[in-house]
């Protein structure tokens, strides 16, 4: 493939061509990669990946999914989970804009849905500010996959008339002892403690004791059914059925990513072997 026939199409030509060739700006695709199982990608996500000159992805995005990008596309990981080498959000924003200005088609691949605790909004704003066209492709957010594989509906006639997605963490500061402390999200615990609704907590593992204590203090029964799903839709998915009162103790061994799901409808969760944790992987095996 010569640079002449594909003037803007290769990320690895960036350095070679530099600023010598004026280019039409490329575009950014903010793409939801879903919870892990490649078969939970949307058709549109697969099509967008096939267009990529460069894929800028989170640590949570699997190799199986990255393999759907063209072989020549450059793949950059910007957020290894719990790694010190993660990029700051403004660096990622600048990177997306810079690649697009260089004429590249940029796929920003994010776990789940880009607009559910994915900071997709900030990346979209950065593109808008730089007059770069930005498309958003929704993805299956982790809560939907976790509910599906456990057979625990997020809404349920008679026991869950609402579902709320919250984060277990807000931006945290350091405590007086110099240690990082829980950044308590500004949530209306009184309202979240009401019955007949499901509460899904993203990024809630380390905050679980505090979240459970707040909800119980605000009046939610300690006996309220709770479900925790780690690695939803992945081969190593783990599900724990518990109650709000026992939640923190029962998840002590998990290292995430995991969701806390609290509410009466979680009583329907089947955490046993009878529910297939990875229906599609199983289908592949059968084919
Ligand atoms: N945009 C993502 C959420 C990113 S925030 C989405 O829509 O799913 C990261 C948090 O998402 C994790 O701390 C965890 O709570 C949750 N999460 C992401 N992938 C998950 C998975 N496969 N199983 C369980 N929880 C997951």
Which atom of ligand 1 has the smallest separation from the CA of 113?
7
Same domain, 148 and 262: yes
Same domain, 197 and 112: no
pLDDT tens across 20-64, in order?
Answer: 556 788 999 999 999 999 999 999 999 999 999 999 998 878 888
For the chain, helix, strand, coil in percent to 5 are: 30, 20, 50
Bond prior to 257 in cis (omega within 30° of 0): yes
CA of 112 to the centre of ligand 1 (A): 6
Across the chain, the runs of DSSP E, i.e. the strands, are 28-32, 54-58, 74-79, 106-110, 134-137, 163-167, 198-202, 225-230, 238-243, 258-262
Q: What is the pLDDT of residue 24?
A: 86
- Pocket lining: 13 vs ligand 1, CB cutoff 6 Å: no
Known catalytic membership, residue 58: yes
CA of 146 to the centre of ligand 1 (A): 10
Residue 105 lies in a domain: yes
Residue 197 lies in a domain: yes
CA of 200 to the centre of ligand 1 (A): 11
Residue 10 lies in a domain: no
Query: In this structure, are residues 3 and 13 in contact, taking their beta carbons and an 8 Å threshold?
Result: yes
Same domain, 66 and 108: yes
Same domain, 155 and 126: no
The Cα 275–Cα 199 span in angstroms is 22
Same domain, 237 and 160: yes
Query: In this structure, are residues 163 and 155 in contact, taking their beta carbons and an 8 Å threshold?
Result: yes
Same domain, 149 and 43: no
Same domain, 177 and 240: yes
Between 60-69, 156-165, 189-198, the lowest mean confidence (pLDDT) is in: 60-69
- Give the mean pLDDT of 152-169: 96
Same domain, 154 and 256: yes
Q: Is the pLDDT of residue 283 over 70?
A: no
Percent of the chain with pLDDT over 90: 69
Residue 89 lies in a domain: yes
Percent of the chain with pLDDT over 70: 82
The structural domain count of the chain equals 2
Same domain, 147 and 264: yes
Residue minimizing CA distance to atom 13 of ligand 1: 203
The Cα 117–Cα 89 span in angstroms is 13
Q: Is the pLDDT of residue 6 over 50?
A: no
CB burial class (10 A; 0-12, 13-18, 19+) of residue 185? middle
Residue 5 lies in a domain: no
Other C-beta atoms lying within 10 Å of the C-beta of residue 121: 12
Q: What is the pLDDT of residue 85?
A: 63
Known catalytic membership, residue 82: no
CA of 101 to the centre of ligand 1 (A): 31
- Pocket lining: 30 vs ligand 1, CB cutoff 6 Å: no
If one residue of 37, 199, 211, 259 were mutated to test the ligand 1 pocket, choosing by the most ligand atoms within 8 A of its CB, it would be 259
Residue 18 lies in a domain: no
Same domain, 167 and 99: no
Under 8 Å CB-to-CB from 58, ≥6 apart: which residues? 33, 77, 78, 79, 109, 110, 111
Residue minimizing CA distance to atom 2 of ligand 1: 112
Same domain, 205 and 91: no
Q: What is the CATH number of the domain that holds 169?
A: 3.30.950.10
Q: What is the pLDDT of residue 18?
A: 52
Q: What is the CATH number of the domain that holds 75?
A: 3.40.1010.10
Same domain, 116 and 84: yes
Residue 11 lies in a domain: no
Residue 247 lies in a domain: yes
What is the span of the domain harbouring residue 245?
143-268
Given 140, 160, 191, which residue is the final one in a domain? 140
Given 140, 156, 184, which residue is the final one in a domain? 140
């Amino acid at each position: 493939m010569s640079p002449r026939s594909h003037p803007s199409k290769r990320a690895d030509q960036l350095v070679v061509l530099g600023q010598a060739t004026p280019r039409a700006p490329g575009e950014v695709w903010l793409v939801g990669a879903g919870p892990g199982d490649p078969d939970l990608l949307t058709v549109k996500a697969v099509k967008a990946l096939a267009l990529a000159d460069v894929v800028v992805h989170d640590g949570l995005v699997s190799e199986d999914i990255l393999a759907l990008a063209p072989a020549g596309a450059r793949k950059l990981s910007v957020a290894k989970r719990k790694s010190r080498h993660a990029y700051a959000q403004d660096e990622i924003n600048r990177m997306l804009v810079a690649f697009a200005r260089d004429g590249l088609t940029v796929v920003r691949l994010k776990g789940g849905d880009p607009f559910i605790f994915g900071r997709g909004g900030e990346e979209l704003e950065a593109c808008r500010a730089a007059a770069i066209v930005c498309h958003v492709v929704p993805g299956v957010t982790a809560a939907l996959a976790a509910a599906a594989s456990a057979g625990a509906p997020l809404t349920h006639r008679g026991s869950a008339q609402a579902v709320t997605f919250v984060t277990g963490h807000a931006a945290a500061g350091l405590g007086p002892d110099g240690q990082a402390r829980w950044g308590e999200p500004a949530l209306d615990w009184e309202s979240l403690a009401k019955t007949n609704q499901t509460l899904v907590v993203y990024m809630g593992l380390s905050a679980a004791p505090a979240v459970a204590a707040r909800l119980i203090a605000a009046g939610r029964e300690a006996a309220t059914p709770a479900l925790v799903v780690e690695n939803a839709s992945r081969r190593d998915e783990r599900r724990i059925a518990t109650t709000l009162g026992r939640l923190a103790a029962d998840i002590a061994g998990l290292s995430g990513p995991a969701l806390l799901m609290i509410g009466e409808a979680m009583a329907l969760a089947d955490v046993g072997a009878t529910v297939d944790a990875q229906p599609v992987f199983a289908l592949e095996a059968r084919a």
